[in-house]
Chains A and B, each alone.
Chain A
């Protein structure tokens, strides 16, 4: 026990080393200007005021081309407005469409979507090699900035804990390609051997 006796939280008082409001106001420009919760814009959290949003409709016009748009089965209807960034297509689209048969509370929904993402990426990489602009892992990962932006000096001697796992990133990025290449080599050898028999 300290000579001065028990301190908070073993007694009721708050910690003693908090500066006074006057000292804080002098040191921090604007200290306490939002001290009153009523001055805080999200207080209370819910304020019923539909006239304040700028909306001049009770229900928005429905965006056209709604047929086939995937939606969560937790929605009672297709919402009136939606994004059209990258419509479902191909094998990845089938996986994703299947994922939307599961509710958002089911792990299957999200894990199938992640699988669809990986299939989409692998397919896009393969297809890119049949185009005039194949995927380029050097430019697309931005890794050349390592030299221009002090990659080594930024990482080492800085006590950064993320350095402990950053070595995994190239494996995450390149690993599937190594596995695919190894599979192709092994498959090719098997075909050649079978042909020689």
Chain B
């Protein structure tokens, strides 16, 4: 089968790989129809995530058709169209039993601090991902869900991470009616977090980025106020001014490890890999939220230490909330929101790229060419 493979920082290609096989009785093999490139895939692509091995296939956002099931699988059969949460999880460990699917303890030998994720290095378990024609899906009775007939395929693939994570980020903010919510990052997760903040009763939603075309999308897709931080000497002061010098009630970091806005942090965090990412957005979140406010972090960071302004967080009495998203927990409510017309996920898709051209897809997304917001990968055209 054909699959994207990692060849070192900034280098990937499509290769012939052996077909994935059933390795556990509850495995399924999925024929991937559509996958996506996530902003967090860029951390792997840039060599930022430890234990990213040559030959590894990325891709934790994908949908497809069941090709084969293991002997203990009860809920799926060959031919089912399924959407697969980015979490690999067992459904039965201490954490899964409490709904913390992203923190599963039974699927990742390589680290205890993170659960299992498809195509996201050996630090998250060493599972090949879905930017390929076929992928192994462990615990087929737990994670995958049959795509409802009414659901658009592109909406389904966006539900496997980006939409679920944006919505989860807004939840972590514990928004109450009338709150001012600031979202750092107008990428897919930030756009969905901004949109979701309204559903939870926000009174103002402000999105901050430096890419004007993405801020335009934040205005039209998420009805948000926008600030281009490149136009201000100090975006924190601007946030204070626009909130009567109070600060935002809730700030969501939807950027993560490759944030821009501070040259030193960028170079030490993402070029020299001396930090687990450049925590510029997180520091700006800490500084722009009001005292006693809540910072929600859904942008992804690596496991190495980062230079975070923790003293400000302490002195301001902040609540910091974060996690990888337990995706499947979000789905029933998000399905309702899509059916009711409150959310139209694929409005943010800008590029649909054949698997054979995935190297260019990564470069376009990484370098932010061609007004790219969300690229999808067509693995097996249906």
Contact among A46, A65, A85, A169 with B53 in the assembled complex (CB-CB below 8 Å): A85
- Chain A residue with the shortest CB-CB distance to B361: A142
Are A173 and B340 neighbours in the complex by a CB distance under 8 Å?
no
Are A50 and B92 neighbours in the complex by a CB distance under 8 Å?
yes
Chain B residues, CB < 8 A from A85: 53, 55-57, 122, 126-128
Determine whether B237 belongs to the interface, using a CB cutoff of 8 Å to chain A: no
> In the bound complex, how far is the Cα of B98 from the Cα of A145, in angstroms?
46
> In the bound complex, how far is the Cα of B109 from the Cα of A165, in angstroms?
36
Q: Is the interface of A mostly helix, strand, loop or mixed?
A: loop
Determine whether B246 belongs to the interface, using a CB cutoff of 8 Å to chain A: yes
Chain A residues, CB < 8 A from B98: 46-49
Chain A residues, CB < 8 A from B177: 21, 32, 35
Binary contact readout B36-74 vs A (1 if CB under 8 angstroms, 0 otherwise): 000000000001001111111100000000000000101
> In the bound complex, how far is the Cα of B305 from the Cα of A135, in angstroms?
33
Are A82 and B266 neighbours in the complex by a CB distance under 8 Å?
no
Contact among A45, A63, A150, A158 with B99 in the assembled complex (CB-CB below 8 Å): A45
Are B47 and A117 neighbours in the complex by a CB distance under 8 Å?
yes
Contact among A9, A50, A104 with B290 in the assembled complex (CB-CB below 8 Å): A9
Determine whether B267 belongs to the interface, using a CB cutoff of 8 Å to chain A: yes
Tell me which of A34, A65, A148 has the highest count of chain B C-beta atoms within 10 A of its own C-beta.
A34
Are A29 and B105 neighbours in the complex by a CB distance under 8 Å?
no
Known pairs A72-B110, A74-B112, A140-B359; A151 contacts B126 (CB<8 A) = no
Are B128 and A79 neighbours in the complex by a CB distance under 8 Å?
no
Are B243 and A117 neighbours in the complex by a CB distance under 8 Å?
no
Determine whether A22 belongs to the interface, using a CB cutoff of 8 Å to chain B: no
Determine whether B151 belongs to the interface, using a CB cutoff of 8 Å to chain A: no
Are B122 and A159 neighbours in the complex by a CB distance under 8 Å?
no
Contact among A29, A65, A72, A143 with B109 in the assembled complex (CB-CB below 8 Å): A72
Are B370 and A150 neighbours in the complex by a CB distance under 8 Å?
yes
Tell me which of A60, A83, A96 has the highest count of chain B C-beta atoms within 10 A of its own C-beta.
A83
> In the bound complex, how far is the Cα of B200 from the Cα of A148, in angstroms?
41
Are A34 and B200 neighbours in the complex by a CB distance under 8 Å?
yes
Determine whether A156 belongs to the interface, using a CB cutoff of 8 Å to chain B: no
Binary contact readout B91-114 vs A (1 if CB under 8 angstroms, 0 otherwise): 110001111110001111111110
Determine whether B310 belongs to the interface, using a CB cutoff of 8 Å to chain A: no
- Chain B residue with the shortest CB-CB distance to A53: B91
List 16 A-B pairs, Cβ < 8 Å.
A21-B177, A30-B337, A32-B198, A34-B201, A40-B171, A55-B90, A56-B72, A60-B92, A85-B55, A85-B127, A110-B303, A121-B9, A125-B7, A141-B363, A142-B361, A160-B211
Residues of A that sit less than 8 Å from B by CB: 7-9, 14-15, 17-19, 21, 24, 27-35, 37, 39-43, 45-50, 53-61, 63-65, 69-72, 74-75, 78-86, 92, 96, 99-100, 104, 107, 110-111, 113-114, 116-118, 120-125, 135-137, 139-146, 148-151, 154-155, 158-162, 164-166, 168-169, 172-173
Please name 17 further chain A to chain B contacts, defined as beta carbons within 8 Å, in addition to the given A118-B47, A172-B10, sorted by A numbering. Answer: A7-B245, A17-B204, A32-B199, A50-B91, A86-B56, A104-B111, A114-B50, A121-B8, A122-B8, A124-B54, A142-B12, A145-B363, A146-B367, A154-B368, A162-B260, A164-B263, A173-B9
